[in-house]
Structure formats: C-alpha cells, structure tokens
Amino acid sequence: MNYQNILVETHDHVGLIILNRPDVLNALSDDLMDELGDAVDKFEADDSIGALVVTGNDKAFAAGADIKRMKDSGYMDVYMGNFIGRNWERISTCRKPVIAAVAGYALGGGCELAMMCDFIIAADSAQFGQPEIKLGVIPGAGGTQRLTRFVGKSKAMEMCLTGRMMNADEAERSGLVSRIVPADDLLEDAMKTAKKIAALSKPSVMMAKTAVNRAYETTLTEGVRFERTIFQSLFATDDKNEGMTAFIEKRKPDWNHR
Ligand code: CAA
C-alpha cells in the first residue's frame, strides 16, 4: 500500500508510525485508518520488530475523526459501511506492544486511538478530550468505555458531557498517561522506551501484554488464574532458562524468542 496519510519508519527493532495530515491536525480519515491498519499488519508480521510507536506532530496527535468527511454521511452510510468497526480498531488487536506518543491535541477519535495503544507517554503540551457531544454525536471508537476505565466515571462523564479537555498534568494524575515528558523529548523518550521493550524476550512481552489486558475483561479471581497459567507456561521457554541463567552468571541474556 502506498501511504499518503502516514509516515512509517523502522529504528532498531521498533516500528514508528507518524500520523501525517498536519493541515487538518491529523484528522483521522478512513484512508488514514486503512493505512494505519496496513502498517500495523506489516509490523506485526515482521519478526525483526518488537514494539511499535504511534505519534503525530507538535500540534496534534490527532484532532479526531475527519468531520468534513463525516458531515454528509447518513445512518445507512455508516451502518452499512460499518464506520469505525471496519478499520479503526486494528491497533487494539496488535499482539506486539504499541506506545502512543502524544503531543498537542488528542481529541475525539484521536484520544480513542491513543487509548487503544498499550500506554500513552504524553508531552507536557498534550490535551485530551472527547468533544463529540459538541457535534451532536458521542464518542464512537471506545471513548465512553476506555476513558471511563482509565479515569473513572466522574471525569469521563464530565468530559463526554461537556467536551472539556484534560491537560497533561491532569491526565497523568488520573492515570490516563503513564508519564509526562518535555515536548522536545517526546519522540526520543518513546522510542527509547519501545527499544527497551523490543530488546526483551518476545514471548514474555506478548504474554505480559495479554495478561494486563485481561484485567479489563474479567474478574480478579479469573484474571489471577489466567496470569498464573501464563506465568507457569513461560517456564517451558528457552528464554526463561536463558534469562535466569544470565542473571546468575551476571551477563546480559541472549534471547532466542522461543
Ligand atoms: N476533522 C476535520 N478537520 C479538522 C478536524 C477534524 N476533526 N480538527 C481540525 N480540523 C481542521 C480545521 O477544520 C482546520 O482546517 P481549515 O484550515 O481548512 O479550516 C485545521 O484543521 C486547523 O484547525 P483549527 O483552525 O480549528 O485549529 P485551532 O488551533 O483553532 O483549533 C482544535 C484546534 C480545538 C483542535 C479544533 O480544530 C477542533 O475543535 N477540532 C475538532 C475536534 C473534534 O471535535 N474532534 C472530534 C471529532 S468526531 C470523532 O472523533 C468521532 C469519534 O469518536 C470517532
């Protein structure tokens, strides 16, 4: 696929996807989402890639779904075309870790896209919001559900009902982002973090991601049982033997990802 709306780079086992519609604050068009899904497919299939980073530019991660392209759509257009369901959620099914590096606006679908990633590193300039209510609609890519799980009912309800934005400090306090870095350091920091993950044993990284995600989908008892099974299964891997032997021999592990 020839990308018109994103830029894709590879750095030391990390796949970097840069949303690239700067004239419209990276508004998420259907074409952009198709390209994003294609890039995720390719990075996921590439054995040399251990983690992904998704970012935008200084002014916007993404200001939401493309309002100009949605304006003339009716119910049957979005229902029969499976708008959002068709191509927006690919990133949330990626088996490799995905970090969202957010500077500037992450609004509407932009906030939802960031929340589909495994964690968000925010620049001090970041602003998060679900302003769809001001357009006569509601969040449509998981905002009412994921934001509520991240920040709790009260803040999520206020944001979805009023469109109020949350700055980086509030987002960190509320658990929406893992940490804040100066805007100038955002990409470097996110890439460094992704490289650290990509240098670990792939099966244990993928299983850790699966286990943490399970916490959002099941009870505590079931989740802990699931974690125990995964933990025990990792004792069947070469990398468990290598990791523990390397620790005892005071050397760096040499993973074979098996
Ligand atoms: N869709 C299409 N174009 C957008 C856009 C969007 N979501 N957000 C910004 N743009 C465009 C603007 O129309 C403008 O284009 P023109 O120069 O052609 O007029 C350009 O980007 C720059 O934007 P502004 O001039 O508005 O920039 P600003 O700095 O004054 O304001 C902003 C920035 C507060 C983010 C404002 O652009 C804004 O409110 N954007 C819309 C945010 C929004 O409502 N997002 C939700 C979309 S619906 C959705 O996402 C549904 C879902 O859940 C999936």
Tens digit of each residue's pLDDT (9 = 90 or more) over 33-66? 999 999 999 999 999 999 999 999 999 999 999 9
User: Is residue 222 among the annotated active site residues?
Assistant: no
Active-site position among 37, 108, 109, 140: 109
pLDDT, residue 175, reads 97
* 184-196 mean pLDDT: 98
Rounded to the nearest whole angstrom, what is the distance from the C-alpha of residue 162 to the centroid of ligand 1? Answer: 17
Conformational region of residue 106, where left means phi above 0, alpha means psi within -120 to 50, and beta covers everything else: beta
Q: From CA 34, how far away is CA 235, in angstroms rounded? A: 39
Cα 189 from chain centroid (whole Å): 16
Active-site position among 60, 65, 103, 198: 65
pLDDT, residue 16, reads 98
Q: From CA 40, how far away is CA 57, in angstroms rounded? A: 19
Helix axes 202-214, 238-248, angle to 10 degrees: 110
Q: pTM score, two decimals?
A: 0.97
Q: How many beta carbons lie within 10 A of that of residue 191, not counting itself? A: 21
pLDDT, residue 186, reads 98
* 91-110 mean pLDDT: 98
User: Is residue 9 among the annotated active site residues?
Assistant: no
Taking Cα atoms as reference points, which of 118, 104, 120 lies closest to residue 176? 120
Q: From CA 77, how far away is CA 90, in angstroms rounded? A: 21
Q: Judge contact between 26 and 19, C-beta under 8 A.
A: yes
Q: Quote the percentage of the chain above a pLDDT of 70.
A: 100
Q: pLDDT category, 93, cuts 50, 70, 90?
A: very high
pLDDT, residue 172, reads 98
Going by the DSSP 8-state scheme, the letter that residue 117 receives in this structure is: S
Helix (H) or strand (E) holding 36: helix 30-45
Q: Whose CA is nearest to atom 19 of ligand 1?
A: 24
Strand order in 14-19's β-sheet? 6-11, 14-19, 51-55, 98-102, 119-123, 179-181
128 lines ligand 1 (CB under 6 A): no
pLDDT, residue 66, reads 98
User: Is residue 175 among the annotated active site residues?
Assistant: no
pLDDT, residue 81, reads 96
Active-site position among 132, 142, 156, 208: 132
- 167 bridge partner residues: 127
